[in-house]
Each structure stands twice: as C-alpha cells, then as structure tokens.
Amino acid sequence: MKKVQKNHYFVNGRKVVKRKTRGLKRSQEKMEKKKKIINHNTLVIAMDLSLEEICTVAMSPRNKQPITSFSVPFDKDGFEGLIETAKELKEHYNFKHVVFAMEPTSHYWIILAEHLKAARQKYVLVQPISVWRERQSEHYSYAKTDYEDAQLIGYLAIDMKFTFTQLPQTPLWASMEALASEWILLNKKKSAEAMRLKAFWHRIVPEFLDIFKEQAGNTAIALSKALLPLPQIRKIKLEEFIGRIRNYLNKKRLMVFKVKVLYEIIRNDKSFGSRLYEGGLTYSISHAAKRYELYNTQQQEAEERLLKLYKQTGYDQFLDSIPSVNPVKNALTLSFIGDPCNYDCPRCLPKLAGTNACQNTSGRHSGKTPITHWGNSHLSYLTYLIGFSLKTHNPEFKMRFNYLINRAKNPLKESQAIVACGNKYLRMVHVLCTQKVCYNMAMANGIF
C-alpha cells in the first residue's frame, strides 16, 4: 500500500500545517552540500594568513578540538610544507579527506588558494565578519592573536559557517574582474576630479559654471589645462589665449564663442569670485584637469580590453538585448558576478551585491527595511548606476519604478526604488544567461 504523508499535525487539539518554503528548501540543500565538504572524516586545516607566515591549527570535526598547531613561511616552500604536513596528519589520525579553511582577506588568500587548487586540495572561505563576531562571543574581547584567529576559523568551518566562494574558474573571468575593478576605481577618481574642478572654478570665476554646463567637456578641460593665473590672462590677447587652448584640444572642436565670453569676464574683471586665490588656484585647476584626462584615457583603455573579453564569454548576445544598458555596464556586471551558472537562484546576485532587503521586525514591531550593505561594494555601486539608467530610459523598468514610489501601501523613496530596479536587473542577468534567452517585455513585466 502507498504510504500517505500528512501535511499537518495537531498541537493541543489545534491543527498546524506543515510548510516547506523555497527558502527552507534552498537552505537545506546548501547544508547538505556543506556536509559533503566537511564531515567526521575530514581533517580541517585552519589558517590565519600574513605576509611573513601562515599560522595553522589542525582541527578534528569529531570532537571540535584542536589537534596541533604550527606555522610555515608564506612562500612556495611553505605552501608545499603545509600540504605535506596536512597529509601526514590525515594519515596519522585516520581521516579520509583534508580541507583547508581561511579568511578571504587582502590578496594573500588568492595566492595560497591558487597553489592549493594546483595541488588538487579543497579549501573553504570563512568571511571576516564571522570571525570578528565569533571572537567577541567566544572571548568577550576584541583581543586577537594569529593562532586564536586560526582556531576560530576552524570552529566556524566545522559549524558549516563558510561560503562556497572559490577562485575564478579560468583566467578569462579573473582578467575581467581585475579590469572591472580598475574601471570602477578610475570612474570614481574621474568623478572626484570633476567635482574638484567645479569647486575651484566656482571659487575664482563662478560664471564658468554657467558658460560651460558640462565642466568635463572637451573645451572646458582644454581651457582648464591651459589656464594661467588670472592677472596674466588679463595681459594677453584673445587670439593668444585661444591658441594656447587649441594646443590641448588634439584637433577636437573648440567652442570659440564660450571661450570669448569667459575671456571678456576675466579681462574686464567682471567676475564676483575671490581675488585672493586667483593667482595660485589656477594651478590647482590645471592639475585637476590633467588628472581627469589621464583617468579618462586609462578608463577607455580598460573598457576596450574588457569588451574584448566580454565577447568571449558568450553571454554578450543575451545581456546586450536589455534596452537602456550599454555593453560596458553589462560587461562590468558580469565581471563582478562571474559565471552566472555558478549560482542556483537569481536572488543570489542581489545578495552578492549587498543590495538585498534586510528585514527588521520583532514581535508586532516592524521597523524600516534597509539594504544589507554586506556584499561586493563595486557591484553595489554598479547596481545603483544601472538601476538609475533603467528607470529613466527603459519603459518596463520606468513603469515598475513609478509603481514602487506611488503604491498605496509602503511606497518606496526614489533611491530605494532605483535599487529595486537594479536588483531586478541582476535577477534578469541570471535568467538570461542560465536559460540562454534574450530580453522580452513579458519577462520584464511578469516573471520578476
């Protein structure tokens, strides 16, 4: 006879329905995967990495106690000695497997992880925040030593509090991640120099901001680079001033009319800006403009290399089908995510970015729901930029944005709705790449 499984049970005469949500199923599946990595037959080699040495504690999951501790130098010989010692301990204490556990801090773990991967050794990563909080709960103190940290990493690994994060599978993904990080860095530096230019000009010639609406345009940057102390500009002719600017334009179009207007304001001393700094601050403007142009050139070089690698992934045809997101943004997103097929659910990507909602409830109290901020800061920054672009130019995302800020129950602020649009984009990236389909309106409106 077929066994009938009930989906409910009774407590004090009250019927309680069994519920197994998608989140619970995913959590159970993840725990089963972790148990296959670390179990009673696994020796855990927990390590605290530094530039000079690797402080190591060998631990047994059978009784959750340290077996021995030792240190090796952080070099090739030290890595080989670490692996050999782990194999000897495995044989001596009758373990079937060895797993190395460490924090993904700085770049040290990348070097060691690559060596372990080449030697076909398994490793897991324990997040620094977990170690930090475990230190406080275990010792009630912020005090730390290298061996104590290694032991805490071992405890967390045995308790299954590690991630599935690994090194990029191929040099292609590693190169894309490096170029994307460089692009983000240069973009932030460009923005900082643009703000600096705006502040400097406003101090000595505020009218510059009205004449040149785009302070980072070709003419504005060339003018800033060619700038002399204002008393010297008042002594030279307009033709000489224009000729000086042309030397920095590299045959690009010069907006002569705007240059004439600014020249007349400076020449006739009609600006209401500061006279005290008009001599020295011009050098700051010139240097800021040169730095901006340098960062811009380097960013364009990174873009060209990144786009070439992006086409090699095979996902470009699917991601580039999303309206209002240019290939560069798609390439950057893919670089920080890695291969989307490594993730089992679309909701993993907002969590990776740290832009997923963080619930804040206790009993009947329901507080504000912020985002977690615990994720890849570069991907989080990029998610906001893409969300802003989509809500402005993409009809489906614009409709979603307007609904979120105008709905009757729990309307979102504009910044929150932009992040929600960015999260929707990340989930869509996972679906398009894993299912190998192009963007369509039904997907944008219905599935997500």
* Res 296 pLDDT > 50: yes
**Average pLDDT rounded to a whole number, residues 195-206:** 92
High-pLDDT (> 70) share of the chain, %: 94
Q: For 419-439, how does the pLDDT look when each residue is reduced to its tens digit (9 = 90+)?
A: 999 999 999 999 999 999 999
Structure tokens at 258: 């705007």
Q: Quick one: pLDDT at residue 360?
A: 75
Q: For 232-263, how does the pLDDT look when each residue is reduced to its tens digit (9 = 90+)?
A: 888 999 999 999 999 998 888 899 999 999 99
How confident is residue 15, by pLDDT bands cut at 50, 70 and 90? low
What fold does the segment set 34-158 form as a domain?
Nucleotidyltransferase; domain 5 (3.30.420)
Distances (CA, A) of 30 to 26, 34, 37: 6, 6, 11
* Res 336 pLDDT > 90: yes
Contact, 49 vs 74, CB < 8 A? yes
Q: Quick one: pLDDT at residue 25?
A: 81
* Res 368 pLDDT > 50: yes
Separation CA 435–CA 432 (nearest Å): 5
How would you label 286-309 residue by residue, b for 16+ Cβ within 10 Å and e otherwise? Answer: bebbebbbebbebbeebbeebeeb
> What number of residues does the chain have?
448
Q: What value does the CA radius of gyration of the chain take, rounded to a whole number of Å? A: 29
- Residue written as tokens 């590299």? 250
Separation CA 149–CA 140 (nearest Å): 14
How confident is residue 137, by pLDDT bands cut at 50, 70 and 90? confident
**For 21-25, 126-130, 159-163, 269-273, which range has the lowest pLDDT when averaged over its residues?**
21-25
Q: Quick one: pLDDT at residue 340?
A: 93
* Res 315 pLDDT > 80: yes
What does DSSP assign to residue 39? Answer: S
Q: Quick one: pLDDT at residue 4?
A: 44
Contact, 388 vs 381, CB < 8 A? no
Q: For 374-422, how does the pLDDT look when each residue is reduced to its tens digit (9 = 90+)?
A: 888 999 999 999 999 999 999 889 999 999 999 988 888 999 999 999 9
Mean of pLDDT over the chain: 89
Separation CA 383–CA 355 (nearest Å): 8
How confident is residue 440, by pLDDT bands cut at 50, 70 and 90? confident
Contact, 430 vs 343, CB < 8 A? yes
- At 62, give phi and psi (nearest 5°): -65, -40
Separation CA 241–CA 236 (nearest Å): 7
How confident is residue 448, by pLDDT bands cut at 50, 70 and 90? very low
**Average pLDDT rounded to a whole number, residues 169-193:** 93
Q: Quick one: pLDDT at residue 198?
A: 93
Helix (H) or strand (E) holding 265: helix 256-267
Q: Quick one: pLDDT at residue 332?
A: 96
Contact, 434 vs 341, CB < 8 A? yes
Q: For 23-79, how does the pLDDT look when each residue is reduced to its tens digit (9 = 90+)?
A: 778 788 888 999 999 999 999 999 999 999 999 999 999 988 999 999 999 999 999
What does DSSP assign to residue 445? Answer: I
Helix (H) or strand (E) holding 318: helix 316-319
Under 8 Å CB-to-CB from 306, ≥6 apart: which residues?
A: 176, 179, 180, 183, 328, 331, 332, 335
Q: Quick one: pLDDT at residue 262?
A: 92
* Res 359 pLDDT > 80: no
**Average pLDDT rounded to a whole number, residues 363-370:** 74
Q: Quick one: pLDDT at residue 49?
A: 94
Q: Quick one: pLDDT at residue 13?
A: 65
Better-predicted residue by pLDDT, 333 or 362: 333
Q: Quick one: pLDDT at residue 172?
A: 94
How would you label 181-209 residue by residue, b for 16+ Cβ within 10 Å and e otherwise? Answer: bbbbebbebbeebbebbeebbebbbebbe
AA identity, residue 180: A
- At 412, give phi and psi (nearest 5°): -95, 155
- At 8, give phi and psi (nearest 5°): -155, 165
Separation CA 89–CA 92 (nearest Å): 5
Q: Quick one: pLDDT at residue 165?
A: 87
- For the chain, the distance separating the N- and C-terminal CA atoms, rounded to the nearest angstrom, is 42
Task: Name 58's bridge partners.
Answer: 45, 68
217: number of Cβ within 10 Å: 14
Q: Quick one: pLDDT at residue 277?
A: 81
- Residue written as tokens 């409830």? 361
Under 8 Å CB-to-CB from 403, ≥6 apart: which residues?
A: none
Distances (CA, A) of 128 to 48, 104, 150, 244, 344: 11, 7, 12, 54, 24
Three-state secondary structure call for residue 360? coil
Q: Quick one: pLDDT at residue 1?
A: 42
CA angle in degrees (0–180, nearest 5) for 178-182-188? 150
Q: Quick one: pLDDT at residue 3?
A: 45
Q: For 82-106, how does the pLDDT look when each residue is reduced to its tens digit (9 = 90+)?
A: 999 999 999 999 999 999 999 998 8
Q: Quick one: pLDDT at residue 11?
A: 61
Q: Quick one: pLDDT at residue 252?
A: 84
Separation CA 37–CA 350 (nearest Å): 26
Spell out the domain ranges in the chain.
Answer: 34-158, 176-304, 313-447
